[in-house]
């Protein structure tokens, strides 16, 4: 390398810092400057995971990346060959952040405090002499003409994105992902606090569906199944202004299996009243609500007195209960952006812009996003690492 190369990183968040530290580790003679528009860096890391930072996942339950990355799974599959969750896990432990794995496969710092990660990044950038300029919003690439390489890590919804690409058509319009559903049904919301462990939720007329625990809230529905569906359907729901039919299967079982179960109860528990025998371990208040909804005045009838029509109505409300999504709300302030720089605008091996040499993108600014569980940070670590490695490879090729 004839002269000292300089890299500017726009955005002092997770991806920006991870890229900076790795760039310096791979190429200590590289000058690296992080520009951050806010007064503080790593603000989202600080509040992430309820202040504990769910920094990655073991992926033990994931058989296909599309299950957890509605957008960007193909590119991530390729990039995981370079740097995946195992490497991320090792990286943090080797840099003084012991981690712990929860039963649900989510990974957190052992300290249960996101500052363990923030302190690590600040320590490493200081040690390597990375320059950090806060309260410095970059408004155009021309401001950075003294730099040899520029990495855009400006995060999710931001008015800054278009400044760093020349063709706006290469941007997919950003919209929020990971939100809860408003359902204007007072009888349902009166059940707030009720949790169903094995629900299936789907948008009728589409192939979009998700499964998992569902929580009824004071204004609609939340819980992992709903957050997943909001992520898969982020774009579709934005287009219809968060007004869409919603179908719930409260049992997690198919229609035939539900019919069989109810048929057995009719025979075995025929003398008992419906409220006294709850199938599928459904919470009592929910079961009462569903029987009243489907059988009205017969909600307290003995099991053995149900006729075929009534049994069909009960099966239908259990496997295909219809609601209407009437709006959205953030989940504990956590949201990610679906959309951003289209993946076709970057070279998949390097994440370098196809329009502008030496311009790279990493983190949420790319059109990659995941469901909750540490998957979004993992995408930030992977893409940032790949960019650092790509720049170093390019430096090696500079005569
Ligand atoms: C409340 C909350 C909790 C979350 N919890 C988790 C979790 O536990 N696990 C998980 O995996 N994901 C979580 N996420 C998502 C995760 O935080 C993001 O996916 C991740 O922070 C993306 O990192 P990033 O570096 O790409 O962007 P960001 O962290 O958003 O950083 C981008 C930075 O760029 C700066 N910037 C923007 N434009 C400019 C400009 N023009 N000039 C200079 N600077 C600029 C911004 O100020 C910002 O600091 C959470 C998100 C939220 C909102």
48 CA → ligand 1 middle, Å? 9
What pLDDT, in 10s, does the model give residues 46-97? 999 989 999 999 999 999 999 999 999 999 999 999 999 999 999 999 999 9
In this prediction, residue 386 has a pLDDT band, given cuts at 50, 70 and 90, of: very high
Please state, in angstroms and rounded to a whole number, the distance separating the CA atoms of residues 304 and 316: 19
Give yes or no for residue 11 CB within 6 A of ligand 1.
yes
Assign 392 to helix, strand or coil: helix
The mean pLDDT value for 123-150 works out to: 96
Counting other chains too, the contacts that 263-268 makes at CB distance below 8 Å and 24 or more residues apart are 263/311, 265/303, 266/303, 266/304, 266/306, 266/311, 267/304
pLDDT at 333 over 70: no
102 CA → ligand 1 middle, Å? 23
Best mutation site among 88, 139, 376 for ligand 1, i.e. most ligand atoms within 8 A of its Cβ?
376
The mean pLDDT value for 251-266 works out to: 97
Nearest CA to 15 out of 388, 351, 381, 392 is that of 381
| Neighbouring C-alpha atoms within 13 Å toward the C-beta of 112 | 1
Best mutation site among 115, 154, 234 for ligand 1, i.e. most ligand atoms within 8 A of its Cβ?
154
Please state, in angstroms and rounded to a whole number, the distance separating the CA atoms of residues 324 and 326: 6
This prediction has a pTM of 0.90
Give yes or no for residue 138 CB within 6 A of ligand 1.
yes
Give yes or no for residue 155 CB within 6 A of ligand 1.
yes
The mean pLDDT value for 371-399 works out to: 93
One-character DSSP codes across 107-138: EEETTS-THHHHHHHHHHHHHHT-EEE-S---
Q: Whose CA is nearest to atom 11 of ligand 1?
A: 374
More reliable by pLDDT, 279 or 171: 279
Q: How far is CA 246 from CA 180, 291, 294, in A?
A: 13, 19, 17
What atom of ligand 1 comes closest to residue 332's alpha carbon? 1
Give yes or no for residue 153 CB within 6 A of ligand 1.
yes
Contacting residues for 61 by C-beta, under 8 A, at least 6 apart: 105
**22-31, 295-304, 323-332, 350-359: least confidently modelled range:** 323-332
Whether residue 31 contacts residue 7, with contact meaning beta carbons closer than 8 Å, is answered with: yes
182 CA → ligand 1 middle, Å? 25
pLDDT at 190 over 50: yes
Nearest CA to 200 out of 223, 219, 184, 178 is that of 223
Q: Is the C-alpha dihedral spanning 143, 144, 150, 156 positive or negative?
A: negative
14 CA → ligand 1 middle, Å? 6
Best mutation site among 20, 37, 38, 44 for ligand 1, i.e. most ligand atoms within 8 A of its Cβ?
44
| Neighbouring C-alpha atoms within 13 Å toward the C-beta of 113 | 6
168 CA → ligand 1 middle, Å? 22
What atom of ligand 1 comes closest to residue 138's alpha carbon? 42
Give yes or no for residue 38 CB within 6 A of ligand 1.
yes
What atom of ligand 1 comes closest to residue 156's alpha carbon? 30
Q: Whose CA is nearest to atom 35 of ligand 1?
A: 11
72 CA → ligand 1 middle, Å? 17
Q: Whose CA is nearest to atom 31 of ligand 1?
A: 13
The overall average pLDDT reported for the chain is 93
Q: How far is CA 258 from CA 102, 193, 289, 307, 324, in A?
A: 33, 25, 18, 16, 24
Count the Cβ atoms, other than its own, within 10 Å of residue 217: 20
What atom of ligand 1 comes closest to residue 13's alpha carbon? 31
Please tell me what DSSP assigns to residue 296: G
384 CA → ligand 1 middle, Å? 13
Give yes or no for residue 17 CB within 6 A of ligand 1.
no
Both tokens of residue 358? 């030496």
What pLDDT, in 10s, does the model give residues 119-136? 999 999 999 999 999 999
pLDDT at 203 over 60: yes
Best mutation site among 105, 144, 155 for ligand 1, i.e. most ligand atoms within 8 A of its Cβ?
155
The mean pLDDT value for 145-157 works out to: 92
Give yes or no for residue 377 CB within 6 A of ligand 1.
yes
pLDDT at 1 over 60: no
């Amino acid at each position: 390398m004839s002269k000292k190369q300089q890299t500017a990183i726009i955005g002092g968040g997770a991806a920006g810092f991870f890229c900076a530290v790795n760039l310096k580790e791979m190429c200590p003679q590289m000058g690296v400057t992080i520009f951050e528009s806010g007064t503080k860096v790593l603000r989202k890391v600080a509040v992430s995971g309820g202040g504990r930072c769910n920094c990655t996942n073991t992926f033990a339950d994931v058989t296909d990346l599309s299950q957890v990355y509605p957008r960007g799974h193909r590119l991530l599959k390729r990039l995981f060959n370079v740097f995946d969750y195992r490497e991320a896990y090792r990286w943090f432990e080797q840099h003084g952040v012991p981690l712990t794995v929860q039963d649900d496969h989510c990974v957190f710092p052992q300290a249960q405090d996101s500052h363990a990660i923030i302190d690590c990044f600040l320590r490493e950038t200081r040690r390597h002499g990375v320059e950090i300029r806060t309260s410095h919003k970059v408004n155009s690439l021309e401001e950075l003409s003294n730099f040899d390489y520029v990495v855009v890590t400006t995060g999710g919804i931001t008015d800054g994105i278009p400044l760093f690409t020349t063709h706006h058509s290469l941007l997919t319009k950003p919209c929020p992902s990971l939100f809860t559903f408003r359902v204007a049904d007072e009888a349902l919301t009166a059940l707030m606090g009720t949790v169903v462990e094995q629900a299936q939720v789907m948008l009728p007329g589409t192939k979009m569906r998700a499964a998992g625990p569902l929580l009824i809230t004071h204004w609609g529905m939340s819980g992992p199944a709903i957050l997943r569906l909001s992520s898969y359907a982020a774009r579709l729901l934005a287009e219809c202004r968060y007004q869409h039919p919603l179908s719930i299967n409260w049992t997690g079982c198919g229609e035939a299996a539900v019919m069989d179960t109810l048929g057995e109860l009719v025979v075995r528990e025929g003398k008992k009243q419906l409220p006294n025998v709850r199938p599928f371990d459904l919470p009592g208040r929910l079961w009462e609500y569903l029987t009243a909804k489907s059988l009205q005045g017969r909600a307290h009838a003995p099991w053995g007195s149900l006729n075929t029509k009534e049994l069909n109505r009960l099966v239908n409300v259990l496997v295909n209960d219809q609601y209407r999504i009437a709006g959205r709300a953030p989940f504990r302030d956590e949201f990610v952006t679906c959309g951003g720089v289209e993946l076709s605008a970057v070279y998949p091996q390097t994440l370098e812009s196809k329009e502008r040499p030496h311009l790279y993108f990493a983190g949420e600014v790319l059109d990659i996003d995941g469901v909750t569980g540490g998957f979004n940070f993992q995408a930030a670590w992977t893409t940032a690492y790949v960019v650092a490695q790509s720049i170093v490879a390019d430096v090696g090729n500079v005569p």
